[in-house]
C-alpha cells in the first residue's frame, strides 16, 4: 500500500503537478510516525503508512497557501480540505489529496504505540476520505462506530460534578496553546488570546483565564471542528479536549443536521440564515 503512495507521489513531483508531497515517515523513536515534507524522489522513499500515522497533515495546507501540494489524508483529515476550501483558506486546485481508507489509528506517543484505538476512531463514521484525488487502501480490521461513550458518561454527571471535573482539568493547562496551533480550524491571524487591545483574556495562567480560553476555543470550533483529535493528542498535560469538541459537534448535528467537512457544498449553519430559525425562536 505504501508503494502505491510512493509511486503516485513520485509521479506528481516528476510531472510537476506539485512541488511537495506531505506524508509520514518513521520518527526517531523507531516506533511512531512523524510528518515528512518530500521534495525529491529520495525523500519519498522514506514514506510509511500504518496505524501510527496519527497526525492531520492537511493542517499544513494553511502553511502552503497557493503552492501546489499533495497531501496524504485519512478520512477524518480529509474533512479539513473541505472545511478550508469552504472557508476560502485554500484553493482546491492547488491541492492533490492522496486519500487512504482507514481502519482506525492507535494511541501513539513518544516511544510507544499501543494497540488501543484513538477515541476519535471509535466514534468516526468515515471509512473512505470525504475528498480525494487518488485512493489507496490501508488494510486492517475496521473499528465500528459506538457512539460517544465518554460523552455519555459526562451527560450522567450533575452540572456541579461537571464543573468540578472541568475545573480540575483546566487547572493544569499550561496555556501553551498547542491545541490551537495544531488545529486546522484555528487560523485566525490574531487569536483572541493574543490580542492586546482589547484584551479579551489575560496571559495569566489562572482558573478564570484558563476557563475563558477553553470555552472560547471550543465554541469557535462548534460546527467547524472536523474531529481529527489532534488537539487532544498534542496536549502535553493530557486534557481531554475531545469531550468538549464532541459535545459541541453532537449539539450542532442535533440542531442543524450538519457535520463539517463532509462535502464542500453544504454551507455551515453559522454561515447561513434561514427564515424558519427566526420563526422557531418566537
CB of 194 to other proteins, least distance (A): 6
12, 84, 227, 269: which one binds ligand SF4 (CB under 6 A): 227
CA–CA dist 230, 189 (Å, integer): 20
* 77 is an interface residue for ligand SF4 by CB under 6 A: no
Instruction: Please name which of 219, 250, 214, 220 lies closest in space to residue 232, comparing C-alpha atoms.
Output: 214
178, 216, 262, 264: which one binds ligand SF4 (CB under 6 A): 178
Would you call 62 exposed, middle or buried from its count of C-beta atoms within 10 A (0-12, 13-18, 19+)? Answer: middle
239, 243, 248, 252: which one binds ligand SF4 (CB under 6 A): 239
* 198 is an interface residue for other proteins by CB under 8 A: no
Task: Identify what 274 binds: ligand SF4, other proteins, none; CB under 5 to 8 Å per kind.
Answer: none
* 109 is an interface residue for ligand SF4 by CB under 6 A: no
* 174 is an interface residue for other proteins by CB under 8 A: yes
Name residues whose C-beta falls within 8 Å of residue 88's C-beta, 6 or more positions apart in sequence.
none
* 179 is an interface residue for ligand SF4 by CB under 6 A: yes
- State the sign of the Cα–Cα–Cα–Cα dihedral 86, 79, 271, 201: negative
The full DSSP string for 21-76 is EEEEEE-TTSSSEEEEEE-SHHHHTT-B-STT----GGGGGGGGTTS-EEEEE-HH
Cell of 277: 430559525
Residue with cell string 494553511? 62
* 188 is an interface residue for ligand SF4 by CB under 6 A: no
Q: Which stretch binds ligand SF4 (CB under 6 A): 38-46, 122-130, 155-163, 182-190?
A: 182-190
Q: How far is CA 76 from CA 38, 123, 145, 240, 251, in A?
A: 22, 11, 14, 18, 19
Q: Which one, 41 or 174, has the nearer CB to other proteins?
A: 174
Instruction: Please name which of 38, 50, 48 lies closest in space to residue 12, comparing C-alpha atoms.
Output: 38
- Considering CB under 8 A, how many residues would be counted as binding other proteins? 39
* 130 is an interface residue for ligand SF4 by CB under 6 A: no
* 34 is an interface residue for other proteins by CB under 8 A: yes
Residue with cell string 512541488? 19
Q: What is the CA radius of gyration of the chain?
A: 19
Task: Identify what 231 binds: ligand SF4, other proteins, none; CB under 5 to 8 Å per kind.
Answer: ligand SF4
* 63 is an interface residue for other proteins by CB under 8 A: yes
CA–CA dist 109, 253 (Å, integer): 31
| x/- map, 208-247, other proteins, by CB under 8 A | ----------------------x--xx-xxx---------
Residues making contact with ligand SF4 (CB under 6 A):
173-179, 182-185, 221, 225-231, 234-237, 239, 241, 245
Residues making contact with other proteins (CB under 8 A):
27-29, 32, 34-37, 55, 59-60, 63, 110-111, 168-169, 172, 174-178, 181-182, 190-191, 194, 199, 202-206, 230, 233-234, 236-238
Amino acid at each position: 500500500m505504501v508503494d502505491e503512495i510512493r509511486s503516485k507521489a513520485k509521479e506528481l513531483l516528476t510531472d510537476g503537478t506539485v512541488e511537495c508531497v506531505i506524508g509520514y515517515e518513521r520518527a526517531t523513536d523507531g516506533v511512531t510516525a512523524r510528518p515528512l515534507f518530500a521534495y525529491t524522489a529520495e525523500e519519498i522513499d522514506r514514506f510509511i503508512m500504518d496505524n501510527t500515522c496519527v497526525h492531520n497533515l492537511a493542517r499544513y495546507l494553511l502553511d502552503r497557501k497557493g503552492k501546489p501540494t499533495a497531501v496524504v489524508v485519512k478520512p477524518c483529515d480529509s474533512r479539513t480540505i473541505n472545511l478550508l476550501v469552504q472557508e476560502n483558506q485554500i484553493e482546491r486546485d492547488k491541492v492533490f489529496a492522496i486519500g487512504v481508507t482507514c481502519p482506525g489509528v492507535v494511541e501513539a506517543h513518544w516511544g510507544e504505540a499501543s494497540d488501543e484505538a484513538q477515541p476519535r476512531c471509535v466514534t468516526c463514521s468515515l471509512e473512505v476520505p470525504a475528498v480525494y484525488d487518488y485512493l489507496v487502501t490501508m488494510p486492517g480490521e475496521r473499528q465500528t462506530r459506538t457512539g460517544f461513550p465518554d460523552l455519555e458518561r459526562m451527560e450522567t454527571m450533575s452540572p456541579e460534578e461537571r464543573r468540578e471535573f472541568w475545573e480540575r482539568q483546566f487547572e493544569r493547562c499550561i496555556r501553551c496553546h498547542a491545541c490551537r496551533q495544531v488545529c486546522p480550524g484555528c487560523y485566525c491571524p490574531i487569536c483572541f488570546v493574543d490580542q492586546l487591545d482589547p484584551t479579551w483574556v489575560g496571559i495569566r495562567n489562572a482558573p478564570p483565564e484558563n476557563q475563558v480560553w477553553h470555552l472560547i476555543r471550543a465554541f469557535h470550533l462548534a460546527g467547524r471542528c472536523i474531529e481529527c483529535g489532534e488537539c487532544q493528542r498534542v496536549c502535553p498535560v493530557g486534557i481531554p479536549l475531545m469531550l468538549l469538541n464532541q459535545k459541541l459537534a453532537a449539539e450542532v448535528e442535533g440542531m442543524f443536521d450538519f457535520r463539517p467537512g463532509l462535502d464542500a457544498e453544504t454551507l455551515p449553519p453559522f454561515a447561513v440564515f434561514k427564515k424558519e430559525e427566526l420563526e422557531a425562536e418566537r
